[in-house]
Structure 1
Amino acid sequence: MDRSLLLITIGGELAALDSAAIRSVVELEAITPVSRAPRHIVGLSALRSRAMTVVDCRRALELPASDARGPLAAVVELDGFLYALQVDGVEDVVPFDGEPAEIRAHLQPGWARASLGIVETIAGPVLLLDPARLIEGPPERKAA
């Protein structure tokens, strides 16, 4: 079965999302902050009059923040709710046929938690990310 992947960049790294999970790619405009939200939740925005939660993928992957991040987001729907996965860049849509392979390299904890495996694309090998794990974000850290 032929599939396609959306190639994205996060923290200077090329990664992929399964295109079947992507509803659209948007430029975010107004984002309304939400008090007491987890650190990786930027706030709320709207897409065609539907509210969506904006997720900072850098923070979800426990990467350093960057001022260079643009307003691009891949929109996914999970359990009836819309989420805008804010990324640094959207590169291309590429074909993919097969299943993700096991990752045999040591990854930083955020990448390891959010990755489904490694896929070979025309752009080279990339990590296939699970949108649900990005939305979940990093584990909560308890104060000592």
Structure 2
Amino acid sequence: MSETRLHLVAHVAGRGVLFDATQVDSVVDLPEIVPTPGAPATIRGLAALRSRVATVIETRRVLGLADDREAGRRGVVTMVDGHLYAVAVDTLEDVSTLAIAPTPAGMALDGGWSAVRGIADGDGETLMVLDLKRLIELAGEQTAEPAR
């Protein structure tokens, strides 16, 4: 059984992803990001957004994909537990009403992919619905890199 909802369509490392529009505050071009010493690799750093400090999530790392910090220059902004976050994505496509189907039984969703909450048929590709709150929780669960 599928459900139709409004979603933001984006891409991360060539993979189509969706974010429930009710979880999205805004979308931005990411400004200069200040690294945060001692933070896990899943946290790119801090950035000033709308006169507030936002934690920038390195989505490729959370999902276990090839890391390319030159990609991921756009951000999906959300508020979780009173904190502002920007989830880095490569491209932002559009907002669309799509029929969301449950994740197929037996589909391996390890690591960051455990944030997947369903799938949809996009323009010639399968899109994975990512729960922003869960993605941010997973980013925070990573182990910090040792100081160099």
TM-score range, shorter chain: 0.7 to 0.9
How do residues 81-92 of structure 1 correspond to structure 2 at under 5 angstroms?
Answer: 81-92=83-94
Using the TM superposition, give the Cα deviation of residue 121 of structure 1 relative to its aligned residue in structure 2, in angstroms.
4.9
Name which of 61, 73, 76 aligns with 1:59.
Answer: 61
How do residues 14-93 of structure 1 correspond to structure 2 at under 5 angstroms?
Answer: 14-93=16-95
1:90-117: CA deviations, max 9, x gaps? 11111135x5413235345235311012
> Whole-Å Cα distance in 2 between the matches of residues 135 and 111 of structure 1?
10
Sort the Cα spacing of 1:108 and 1:66 in 2 relative to 1 into closer, same or farther, 3 A: farther
TM-score after normalising by structure 1: 0.84
> Whole-Å Cα distance in 2 between the matches of residues 57 and 136 of structure 1?
12
Match of residue 116 from structure 1: 117
Tell whether 2:128 aligns with 1:127. Answer: yes
Using the TM superposition, give the Cα deviation of residue 119 of structure 1 relative to its aligned residue in structure 2, in angstroms.
2.8
CA contact (8 A) 2:42 2:142 kept: no
Q: How many residue pairs end up in the alignment? A: 140
1:49-81: CA deviations, max 9, x gaps? 111000010011111112550410100111111
Paired-residue identity, %: 34
SS of the equivalent of 2:31 reads coil
Match of residue 94 from structure 1: 96
> Whole-Å Cα distance in 2 between the matches of residues 108 and 116 of structure 1?
10
1:14-47: CA deviations, max 9, x gaps? 1100011111110011111111111100000011
> Whole-Å Cα distance in 2 between the matches of residues 59 and 121 of structure 1?
24
CA contact (8 A) 2:12 2:72 kept: no
> Whole-Å Cα distance in 1 between the matches of residues 72 and 113 of structure 2?
24
Using the TM superposition, give the Cα deviation of residue 2 of structure 1 relative to its aligned residue in structure 2, in angstroms.
6.2
> Whole-Å Cα distance in 2 between the matches of residues 45 and 115 of structure 1?
26
